[in-house]
């Protein structure tokens, strides 16, 4: 089983620091990733992506490192407060501590077409 993920980043820094779920956003990454070590859903996948995109490379498995390298090759370096991880259609806002599931996300995406979906 795979998970489809997207990462939406606030277009301005203020939206990131405030973790404003209504801020303008850019889609910066999209991928289909395999289940890693165990079956995960929703927030667990968002948390896995946080780990993969923030941990030192020596702590990552081969598949996790492939995801991190692909993300960084696109000039992105970490997953941060204010970013939204979309997991199989469910939206999770990265807050200062943990995740907030967005039941009815209404933020506008201003860059939704320039991102190529990667299959890991």
Q: How confident is the model at residue 17 (pLDDT cuts 50, 70, 90)?
A: low
pTM (2 decimals)? 0.88
Tell me if 8 sits within 8 A of 107, measured CB to CB.
yes
Q: Is the confidence at residue 65, as pLDDT, over 90?
A: yes
Q: Is the confidence at residue 61, as pLDDT, over 60?
A: yes
- What is residue 120's predicted lDDT score, i.e. its pLDDT? 65
Cα–Cα distance list, 94 to 9, 37, 54, 114, 116 (Å): 10, 23, 13, 23, 23
Q: How confident is the model at residue 118 (pLDDT cuts 50, 70, 90)?
A: low
- What is residue 95's predicted lDDT score, i.e. its pLDDT? 92
Higher pLDDT, 19 or 54: 54
The answer for 6, left when phi > 0, alpha when psi is -120 to 50, beta otherwise, is beta
Alpha helices in 31-118 (DSSP H): 43-54, 62-73
Phi/psi of residue 69, nearest 5 degrees: -65, -40
């Amino acid at each position: 089983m795979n998970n489809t993920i997207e990462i939406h980043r606030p277009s301005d820094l203020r939206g990131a620091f405030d973790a404003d779920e209504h801020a303008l956003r850019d889609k910066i990454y999209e991928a289909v990733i395999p289940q890693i070590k165990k079956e995960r859903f929703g927030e667990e996948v968002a948390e896995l992506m946080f780990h993969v995109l923030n941990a030192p490379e020596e702590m990552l498995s081969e598949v996790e490192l492939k995801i991190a390298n692909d993300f960084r090759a696109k000039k992105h370096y970490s997953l941060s407060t204010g970013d939204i991880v979309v997991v199989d259609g469910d939206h999770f806002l990265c807050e200062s501590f943990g995740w907030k599931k967005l039941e009815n996300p209404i933020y506008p995406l201003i860059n939704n077409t320039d991102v190529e979906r990667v299959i890991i």
